[in-house]
Structures are given as structure tokens and as C-alpha cells.
Amino acid sequence: MSSFLLQHARLLDPTSETDRTADVLIVDGVIHAVEETIAAFPSEAEVRDCTGLVLGTGLVDLYSHSGEPGFEDRETLHSLMAAAQAGGFTRLALLPDTHPAVDNPSGVEWLRSQVGGEGRGKGGSVPQLYQWGALTLGAKGEHMTELMELAEAGVVGFADGQPIASGSLLRRLLEYGQMLQKPIALYCCDRGLAGNGAVREGLESIRLGLPASPAIAETVPLAALLECITEIKTPVHLMRVSTARGVELIRSAKAQGLPITASTTWMHLLLNVTAAKSYNPSLHLDPPIGNPTDQAALLQGIQDGTIDAIAIDHTPLTYEEKTVAFSESPAGAIGLELALPLLWQTFVASGQWTALSLWHSLSSNPARCLHQTPPSLTPGQPAELILFDPQKSWKVAPETLKSRSSNTPWLGQEIQGRVLQL
């Protein structure tokens, strides 16, 4: 029997709106007791003083990218899981755009064979991996997959992670997906309107001399999708919301009772196009980082519930791929190990957000978007918990990161806040 007594920790559990200091006793991986002071505990229990540390429910990432299979030089499943664990993520949902794409049951079975059991690391380690099944063959947006077969194989839901340009195909997917009772996540982007835009269109993009993508590249397909949902009533999760107008459209749609949830990515909350003056290719994202008005609208959307969750969209890319001109680099940045400390320092430590507000967006709400029961800090529940030190400083470097890739604009910088081994 293994047992741990964590004393004087700051407990964060958004499911019960808990933010208080208490002791927690964990026995054989299950929360045994949560009390202000625990005096009676097994003699063999490992006792740890957690004064100044946060003990929170595990974080849940809605969508990120795995390099394996097909791009192991970017990321393997082993390094991905290590990065997720180092960042406090106990559940991780993987997009299907690997090579080959996860567009049939064999891809789901392969992942299960690699990580063991029900998407849990071998030996029972965290995080739990979940697989999005592709909506279309090869995640190319052209031909619908056998959704029922993928559902029976155990995918967490359906997403390409890429836009679906065909309106007729989108309609068929929504109609057929309605009966499957699994999340459907869609990315609204008109590639024709976006062109080769590497940042959001506006005065700053002109000053920087960078190719720009207009806001309507998001809002035109978003408005069309909302019309389809109004007609068909299929619940949909809206991925990667990045514009102020997009937030307005979603707020209006929710007020009308449409069955939608929405997420933005952590970097779109932290940064706007003014950061691109460094021309760091790791700031080239998809969707591109927005104007200050976009960033402000996304932050307000998180606060008022228009945007349900913060996704990481961890996108590992090699040094060679990213060491090119800004607009010529492939879009994407890593984030699993960086999101919690940077979001905490920017919004919680500054007093802009409460700690529970951040935990709602990173833990309980993403779980609900995946139609899962959120992790809980309740006696009798599995100890799906993380221990976070908001004061611990560390330097972001290839040797301190668990990810195989280091494509992040914070590379070489000292940041504050790190997840500790529980």
C-alpha cells in the first residue's frame, strides 16, 4: 500500500469551487481524505509540506499534435507524454493528422497498443491519451470517413484539425454525426481568404511588412457553420477561435441556445501581433496571432463564458523546419510545458483572473467539452491531481524541456512556475 499526506496545500477544484488550504491524504492512488488538518494517517505514509504550493485537479488538453507516427523527429509519443506530464496535463486528446492519419480503426488500435490499456501510459502512468478520429479521409476535407467504425473503435470524438471547405460535406458530417453522441470539433478558416497570411491583418501587419490574413477568413466560415447548426441542431465544438468578431458571433449564438462550445489557444490569450516585431518564427501560428482588439475580446470571452476552454494545440516542429523566414515557416509552437506557468503569472499572479477561473478553463471545462467527467478533489475519487509551484523559476531550454522540439518564442528565457512531481 502506498500513501501520501500532502499538508498545507492550496487546493484548487473548479468542480466544487474549492480554493482553500488543507491537507490531503492519498492512499493507493485514491483520495482518502481532505481536511483542514489530518492527524490520523498510515504510519508508512510519505508526508510532504506543501506550504506555498498549489494542489489542483489535473489539466485537460482538448487538442494537440503528436509527431508519431510519421514525424518522430518532431515528437514521439513518449516525449509527448513526458511533456504533458511536466506541464500538469493528466488528459491529452490528440488530433488525427499524423502519417498515416487516424481515419480508420487500425490507427486507434495502434495508439492503444503503444500506450497500453485505455489510453493510459504503460505502468499506469499519466497522462491519459485520447484520440480524435478524422472526419475525412487523410484529414484532407474531401471524403467522409466511416464515422461509426471510428466511434466503435473508441475515439474521443471527431475532428480533422483542418478546415472543411465543402459546405455540402459539412452538412452531411453534421447530419450523420448527430447520431454518434460524440464531440465534433471544427476549425473555421477559409484558406482562400486567408491566403499566405502569417499574422492577422491590420495596421501592425502593414508596419511589420508581413503577409496578413483578414478576420473574415475566420468569421465567414464561422457564420456559415452557425447557420448549419441552427438548422441541424448537432452539437459542435468550435476550435481555435481567434478574432473579436468570432467571439461576438459565438456569444450571440449561445444566447440563442445553439448547442456549441468554443475554445481558443493559450498563445492567442498571451500575445498579439505586436509581439511579431521580433520576427521569431515560433510566433507564426495557425490561426495567426491577432490584433490587440482580438486578444482583448478573447480574454473577455474567457471571463464571461463565451469561450469555454483554453486549448494548448501543442505543435512540435524541428529546428530546421522553423529556422527560416517568419512567413515561410510552418505554423505552430509547443506549449504543454509552458502554458500553465505563463498563464498563471500573466493573469493570476497579476490579479486579473482568479486561480479558479484559470483552472475552469484548463481542467473542468475542457473535460466537459470532451463529454467527460472532470477530475475532482473529492474523497473516494482517483487522485488525478497535480502539484504546482507558482514561484519556482526555470530557464526554457532544449535540455530543460521534455518535448523533442523547442519551437517556442520563450526559448532561452527564465519563466516562473513549474509543476512538481506528485
Helices (H), 198-309: 203-208, 216-232, 244-255, 266-270, 292-304
Classify 290 as helix, strand or coil: coil
CA–chain centroid gap for 293, Å, is 23
For residues 4 and 26, what is the distance between their CA atoms, to the nearest angstrom?
Answer: 5
Q: Catalytic: which of 97, 286, 294, 313?
A: 313
Cell matching residue 94 = 490528440
Indicate the Cα dihedral angle 387, 237, 139, 72, nearest 10°.
-10
Within 10 Å of residue 94's Cβ, how many Cβ atoms?
A: 25
For residues 91 and 7, what is the distance between their CA atoms, to the nearest angstrom?
Answer: 25
Run of H or E including 87: helix 77-87
Smallest CA-to-CA distance from 162 within 95, 66, 91 is with 95
* 103 carries an active-site annotation: no
Burial class (CB in 10 A: 0-12, 13-18, 19+), 393: exposed
For residues 116 and 111, what is the distance between their CA atoms, to the nearest angstrom?
Answer: 8
**Beta strands of 111-255 (E only): which ranges?**
128-133, 157-158, 185-187, 199-200, 212-213, 236-239
Report, as residue numbers or ranges, the catalytic residues.
Answer: 313
